[in-house]
Amino acid sequence: MEAMQRLLEIMAQLRDPAKGCPWDLNQTYSTIVPYTLEEAYEVADSIQRGDMAELRDELGDLLFQIVFYSQLAKEDGHFDFNDVASGICDKMIRRHPHVFSDARYENEQELRHAWEQQKAEERTQRKDPSGQTSHMDGVAHALPALIRAEKLQKRAARVGFDWPHAQDALDKVNEELDEVRVEIGRGDKDRLQDELGDLLFSMVNLIRLLGMEAEQSLSRANEKFERRFRAMERSLQEENEANIQDLSLEQLDAAWERVKRNESGT
C-alpha cells in the first residue's frame, strides 16, 4: 500500500498545473488509449516468453495507465483510484458468492452459468436511457476483431442462436469461400471486403465450435510463419550470396518447402 500511495502521489505531481510534466499535462483519456493497449500487449508478450522480470516491469507500466486514467477522472470530478479499487472489490465479491457467501455449485458449468447470469444482471442495471437492452451489450468495440467476433458468437449461442455441430460451421465456411470467389470475379471491392469479413467470421465460428480460440490459432500461425521465414532466410544466405529479394518465386518456394521438410523431419 505504501508503494501504491507513492505511485498515486507521483501521478498527481506529473499532472500538477504549475510544476508538472508538459507531456503528461497535455494528455487526455483518448490520447493515452494507444499506450494502454500497447502496455497490455507487452504484458501478454512477456508472459508468452516466460520472462518474469520483464513481466514485473510491464505490469507496472500497465498499472500506471490505470492510475493515469484515475487521476484524469479525479481532476474532472468523476471518481478517483480508490473508487476504482473499491468498485472491483465489490464486483469480485458479488460475482463469487461461493467464496464470499454460502452459495454452492455442483460443477464448473453451474459456476459459469451463475457468473454469466450475474454479469447479465449488471448489464441490465446499466441499460441505456431508452430502456432497451441486448445480449450483445458490453462487448467492447475496441477489442481485436477476432476476439470480438468470438465474444459476439458466444453471446448469441447463449440464447440458442448457434450451429449445433462444428460440421455445420465448416459447411458455412465453404459457402462463404464460394461467395468470395464470386466477388473476386466481379471486381467490386466493397462487396469483396464484406464477403471476406463473412469468411473470417465463419472461420472464428468453426474454431470456437471445435473448442479452440481464433486469436490463439492465428497467433500460432504467425509464429510458425515467422519461424519458417527466418529459417528460409538463413538457409538462402548460407547457400547463395544473392539478396533474397533477387531470387525468383520458384527459388523462394523451393527453399520454403525445404524448411518445412526439415521441421517435420521428412
* Host H or E run for residue 218: helix 214-239
Q: How confident is the model at residue 254 (pLDDT cuts 50, 70, 90)?
A: very high
Mean pLDDT of 250-255: 92
Q: For the chain, give me the number of helices (H) and strands (E)?
A: 12, 0
* Host H or E run for residue 235: helix 214-239
Summarize pLDDT for 81-140 with one digit per residue, the tens: 999 999 999 999 988 988 898 888 888 888 888 877 887 777 667 665 666 778 888 888
Mean pLDDT of 165-174: 96
Q: Give dist(CA 152, CA 135) in Å, integer.
A: 9
**Which position has the higher pLDDT, 107 or 60?**
60
- Please, is 225 exposed, middle or buried when counting C-beta atoms within 10 Å of its C-beta (0-12, 13-18, 19+)? exposed
Asked if 228 and 259 touch (Cβ cutoff 8 Å), the reply is: yes
Q: Give dist(CA 83, CA 70) in Å, integer.
A: 9
Mean pLDDT of 6-10: 97
Domains, in order of start, for the chain: 2-95 (1.10.287.1080), 145-212 (1.10.287.1080), 217-264 (no CATH)
Summarize pLDDT for 191-228 with one digit per residue, the tens: 999 999 999 999 999 999 999 999 999 999 999 999 99
